[in-house]
């Protein structure tokens, strides 16, 4: 694939960023897509490695060597066809996927991996610019109706596949706009929401109906769950009106930090900050939480924490500190030891580069405040001993904080929705459904399927797309007896 000697001749080319001073002035995307020549050079580095481990490293099994080779040869439209054969929304994954395919790249054993994600990004951006992405409505209709509950990436992927199979699909979304955490959890500077909107236009042309502001359940979710719903539909109504129902909601219950002072004003879950900010950027209101001139502490070292860092910097925070309870990872992974698996190594995001003090092996013991308002937090150093995390004696310290954002992940989907359908849950509170064999993605409730974070727990957008596509095939088989949809 690519040029046989390309991996020896060319170095990896990373996508460029706009300068920090420029990107902090707005919420626009700042990653600069590879030029055609740069993408061709990256494609040339793809090795004829015999077994393309990148395919299996990718949750949706993108046929990566093929479209790398096509880009190298300048056959961009053919590359798009190959890319779309496994991925409904490469403009999503080309921007926000952490690229496990690159970790599995054979070249990554002892050199820099092929820039797979950047090539994907280049293919789909060129495709939209040239009008190659068009609706693909079904030639014949089946007369079957499917309800998709949840408008995130899993639901969107399932809906598009089923509509192309000829079914009448309706997507129910509790928020005022479709996209789930893809729209509301990820800041625009990483992922502008126009990418969702134009896919929705394509899907409408393919026959998908979107109903927003609708809660599916017997009673509205409680406080802490993002919900713009002004009306509701009961599970019984859906099951009477549709031939199948797919539950594709997110894992929306945030992990809390129940330490003294948790009730102080200024301590928030990350999404209490990020969701209103995304709505403000979209013109749907104003964020009640402002970080301008404040000392911000983010607890949690993952992507959500990084998003809080970047958003706080755009507000004009006086200082941003990020704590992680785990030890600092190594700067570089041991390639021969970890390949082709996802390696543990230090990952520095663009938001960190914009200004952030990072600290590891830190636990929060108490939030400190005056008159009900946060003024700081008491933390301590921790270490692993005999497989357990323990506090280091005498290591306590206090950090000034006007705002704290808890970004420690999510535990399970909204229980009320699953309970309203009577869906069995696994030990983690997710919808219980198998992914192999007969009846895959089916729950214990007849006609009800589950896919994405609601089934597997908090995960990546690429896993959501995979599960949405696979669930669509399972539903098509359930309705028609067989399916031509790919898995």
- pTM score over 0.85: yes
Which DSSP helix (H) or strand (E) runs through 364? strand 362-370
Stretch 307-320: mean pLDDT: 98
What confidence score (pLDDT) does residue 386 get?
Answer: 85
Using CA of residue 361, residue 367, residue 373, residue 375, what is the dihedral sign?
negative
Stretch 436-448: mean pLDDT: 93
What confidence score (pLDDT) does residue 414 get?
Answer: 87
Residues 6 or more apart whose Cβ sits within 8 Å of residue 358 = 301, 321, 322, 324, 352
**pLDDT tens column, 268-290:** 999 999 999 999 999 999 999 99
3-state secondary structure of 388: strand
Stretch 8-33: mean pLDDT: 96
What confidence score (pLDDT) does residue 362 get?
Answer: 97
Distance between alpha carbon 383 and the CA centroid of its chain, in Å?
30
Q: What is the DSSP string of 194-249?
A: HHHHHHHHHHHHTT-EEEESEEESSS---TTS----SEEE-HHHHHHH-SEEEE--
**pLDDT tens column, 175-194:** 999 999 999 999 999 999 99
pLDDT at 114 over 70: yes
pLDDT at 113 over 80: yes
Per cent of the chain over pLDDT 90 is 91
What confidence score (pLDDT) does residue 438 get?
Answer: 80
**pLDDT tens column, 229-259:** 899 999 999 999 999 999 999 999 999 999 9
Please identify which residue in the block is written with the tokens 């899993």: 154
Mean pLDDT of the chain: 95
**pLDDT tens column, 123-159:** 999 999 999 999 999 999 999 999 999 999 999 999 9
Please identify which residue in the block is written with the tokens 């021969």: 336
Give the whole-angstrom CA distance, residue 150 versus residue 138: 23
**pLDDT tens column, 362-387:** 999 999 999 999 999 999 999 988 88
Residues 6 or more apart whose Cβ sits within 8 Å of residue 394 = none
Higher pLDDT, 224 or 334: 334
pLDDT at 221 over 80: no
pLDDT level of residue 1 (50, 70, 90 thresholds) = low
Hey, how many other C-beta atoms are within 10 angstroms of the C-beta on 259? 14
The structure tokens listed for 54 are 């990148």
pLDDT level of residue 48 (50, 70, 90 thresholds) = confident
Range from 121-130, 219-228, 406-415, 463-472 carrying the lowest mean pLDDT: 219-228
């Amino acid at each position: 694939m690519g040029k046989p000697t390309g991996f020896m001749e060319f170095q990896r080319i990373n996508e460029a960023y706009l300068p920090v001073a420029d990107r902090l002035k707005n919420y626009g995307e700042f990653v600069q897509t590879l030029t055609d020549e740069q993408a061709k050079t990256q494609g040339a580095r793809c090795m004829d490695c015999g077994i393309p481990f990148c395919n299996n490293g990718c949750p949706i099994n993108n046929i990566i060597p093929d479209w790398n080779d096509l880009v190298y040869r300048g056959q961009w439209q053919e590359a798009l066809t190959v890319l779309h054969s496994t991925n409904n929304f490469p403009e999503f994954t080309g921007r926000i996927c952490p690229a496990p395919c690159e970790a599995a790249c054979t070249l990554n054993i002892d050199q820099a991996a092929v820039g797979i994600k950047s090539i994907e990004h280049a293919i789909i951006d060129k495709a939209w610019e040239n009008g190659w992405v068009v609706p693909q409505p079904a030639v014949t209709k089946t007369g079957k109706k499917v309800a998709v509950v949840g408008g995130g990436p899993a639901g969107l992927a399932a809906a598009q596949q089923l509509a192309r199979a000829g079914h009448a699909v309706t997507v129910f979304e509790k928020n005022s706009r479709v996209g789930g955490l893809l729209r509301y959890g990820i800041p625009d500077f990483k992922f502008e929401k126009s990418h969702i909107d134009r896919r929705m236009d394509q899907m409408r042309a393919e026959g998908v109906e979107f109903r927003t502001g609708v809660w599916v359940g017997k009673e509205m979710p409680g406080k802490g769950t993002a919900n713009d719903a002004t009306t509701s539909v009961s599970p019984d109504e859906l099951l009477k009106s549709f031939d199948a129902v797919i539950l594709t909601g997110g894992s929306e219950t945030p992990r809390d930090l129940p330490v003294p002072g948790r009730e102080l004003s200024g301590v928030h879950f990350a999404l209490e900050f990020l969701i209103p900010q995304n709505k403000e950027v979209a013109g749907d209101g104003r964020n009640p939480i402002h970080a301008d001139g404040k000392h911000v502490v983010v607890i949690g070292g993952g992507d959500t924490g990084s998003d809080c860092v970047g958003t706080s910097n755009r507000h004009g925070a006086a200082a941003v500190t990020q704590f992680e309870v785990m030890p600092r990872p190594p700067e570089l992974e041991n390639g021969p030891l970890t390949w082709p698996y996802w390696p543990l190594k230090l990952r520095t995001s663009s938001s960190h580069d914009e200004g952030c003090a990072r600290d590891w092996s830190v636990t929060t013991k108490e939030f400190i405040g005056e008159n009900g308002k946060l003024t700081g937090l008491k933390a301590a150093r921790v270490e692993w001993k005999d497989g357990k995390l323990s506090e280091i004696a005498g290591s306590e310290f206090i950090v000034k904080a006007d705002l704290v954002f808890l970004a420690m992940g999510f535990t399970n989907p909204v229980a009320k929705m699953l309970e309203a359908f009577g869906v069995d849950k696994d030990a983690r509170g997710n919808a219980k459904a198998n992914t192999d064999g007969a009846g895959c993605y089916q729950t214990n409730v007849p006609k009800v399927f589950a896919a994405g974070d609601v089934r597997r727990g908090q995960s990546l957008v690429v896993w959501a797309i995979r599960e949405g596509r696979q669930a669509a095939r399972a539903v098509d088989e359930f309705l028609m007896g067989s399916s031509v949809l790919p898995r």
